[in-house]
Amino acid sequence: MAGGVKNLDLDEMLSNRDVQPTDSPIAEADRAHQWHPYTQMKDFGSHLPVVKAKGSKLYLEDGRVLIDAISSWWVNLYGHGNEHIKKALNRQFESVDHVLFAGFTHAPATRVAELLLPHLPGKMNRLFFSDNGSTSVEVAMKMALQYFYNQGENRRLLLAFEDAYHGDTFGAMATGGLGVFNNAFSDMLPKVVRIPVPSANGLDATLEALHALPLHEVAGFIYEPLVQGAAGMVFYEANDLDKILNTVKNTGAFLIADEVMTGFGRLETMFASEQMEVRPDIMCLSKGLTGGVLPMGLTTATEEVFKGFYSDDRSKALMHGHSFTANPLGCAAAIAGLELWASPDIQASRQQLMTLQSEAALELEQHPAVDSVRVKGTLLAINIKTNSDSEHYGAFRDQLYAYFTNHGVLLRPLGNVIYTLPPFTTSESEMKHIYDIIRGCLDTLIEA
C-alpha cells in the first residue's frame, strides 16, 4: 500500500525463543509439564523465566530486565512487591489464613465492604466474592437470570456487545464475541444476543439492532464501560453508552458493568461507570482489586437484586460458591490496595502517568506508521497501519511481541494494536523508555 508499512522482517530481529537460553532449568521443567494460557504450545518455544518482580520491572533468569508496560495483564496497580501490601499479608497470615465463607465470616471481608462500597457508582450495597474476573461475570449472569426466574418471569436471554470479552469460563465465554476464544464451544453456550458497539459515525446502527431484539426476554445487558479491552482497546463515547443503557433499563433488565479491566482508576475516574449518568445494577471487579497481587473477584449488586433472592424458599438462594470465597489473605491485599488508592502519593503518580500518556499520544499519532492513537486515563492505544492480517494471535502480532520483549519491554499487542497500561507507580524515565522502544519499532515499519 502506498505510504504504508511492511511487516517486521523476522531476519532483522530476534524472537523470544532465539534469546531464551535452552539450558535454563526453569525453562526445561516448564516445557516438560506446563500448559500455558492462550498459547499454541507446539510452536511457541520457551517461556521466559522470571526470578524477581519489583516496582515496574520483571527480572529474568538470564539477567535481562523487562519493564512491565501492561501491568502483567492489567492487574498490577501499585508496583510489584509493594511493601504496604506485603506487610498487610504478613499481618493477616498471623491471624486467619483461610476459612470457608459459608456459615462463617471475618473482619477482612467486612472491611473490604466498608472501604469499597462508598466508591461504587449507583446504589451498590452487596458484595459476592469469587476467584477472578471470569467467575465474577458468572456470578453476575446467575444473579440476573435467577432473579427473574425467582419472580416467575420468563427472561432467559442476556445481551452483550459484538466483539466483547468477559472471560473464559462457559457463561463468560457465551457473552464474549471474539471467536478465537469460543468457536469450539459455540453450540454449547447459554443464549446471548448481541448488538454492535457504537462507532464514531454514530449510534443509529446500534439502536436499530437493539430495538429489533425481544428485549422483554432479556434479563441483563453486560458491557465493558467505555473501552472494549481484548477486542483491541476499542473506545466509545459515554453519551452513546448512556442512551443504550437507558433503553435497556427501561425494559426492566439489569445493567451489568464489567469493570474487571476498567475499574480502580484505569480510565480517569475510579470506576468507568462514574462517567455515565445511567448506573449499573451489578458490577464485576477483579484484576486491580487486590493491587494485582492475589486472585480475587467481586460481583457487587444493588439491594433490589439481592432482595430477589431473599426468601423463605431456600431454592431461591444464589447457589454459587468457591472454596476460596472471600479468602482473608486476598481481602487483606484488597484492603491494602484501597488504602493505597486513597494515598496522595499514588494519586500524584497516577496523575503523572495520565499526563505522560496524553503527551505521548500527541507525539505518536504523527508517526507515519501509525493509523490512529487514542488515550483515556492511564491507557494508551496505538493502531499500526498494516497490509498484513491483524488477528489477535497472527504472525504480525507475534513479531511485534518479540521485538518489544527483546528490547526490554513487556508489551502484548492485540493484533496490530499496541497499548500501554502500566502500574501507576511507573516512573517518568521508565515511561519514556517504553515510548522510545515503541517509536523504534514504528521506525522499523516505515517503507524505505
Residues known to be catalytic: 38, 165, 258, 287
Query: In sequence order, which residues have a C-beta less than 8 Å from that of residue 68 and are 6 or more positions away?
Result: 53, 56, 57, 58, 76, 80, 410, 422, 423
Q: What is the DSSP letter of 49?
A: P
Distance of alpha carbon 414 from alpha carbon 141, whole angstroms:
27
Q: Is 412 annotated as a binding residue?
A: yes
CA angle, residues 227, 233, 238, in degrees to nearest 5:
25
Q: Is 134 annotated as a binding residue?
A: yes
Proportion of the chain in helix, strand, coil states, percent, rounded to 5:
40, 20, 40
Q: Is 133 annotated as a binding residue?
A: yes
Distance of alpha carbon 209 from alpha carbon 55, whole angstroms:
46
Q: Are 223 and 238 in contact (CB under 8 A)?
A: no
What's the first-to-final CA gap in the chain, in angstroms? 13
Q: 3-class DSSP state for residue 301?
A: strand
Cell of 90: 504478613
Q: Is 322 annotated as a binding residue?
A: yes
Q: Is 323 annotated as a binding residue?
A: yes
Q: Is 321 annotated as a binding residue?
A: yes
Distance of alpha carbon 346 from alpha carbon 348, whole angstroms:
5
HSE (side-chain half, CA atoms, 13 Å) at 406: 18
Q: What's the alpha-carbon Rg for the chain, to the nearest Å?
A: 22
Query: In sequence order, which residues have a C-beta less than 8 Å from that of residue 1 and are 6 or more positions away?
Result: 385, 387
Distance of alpha carbon 208 from alpha carbon 221, whole angstroms:
16
Q: Is 15 annotated as a binding residue?
A: no
Task: List the binding residues for pyridoxal 5'-phosphate.
Answer: 133-134, 258, 322-323
Task: List the binding residues for substrate.
Answer: 73, 165, 287, 321, 412
Task: List the binding residues.
Answer: 73, 133-134, 165, 258, 287, 321-323, 412
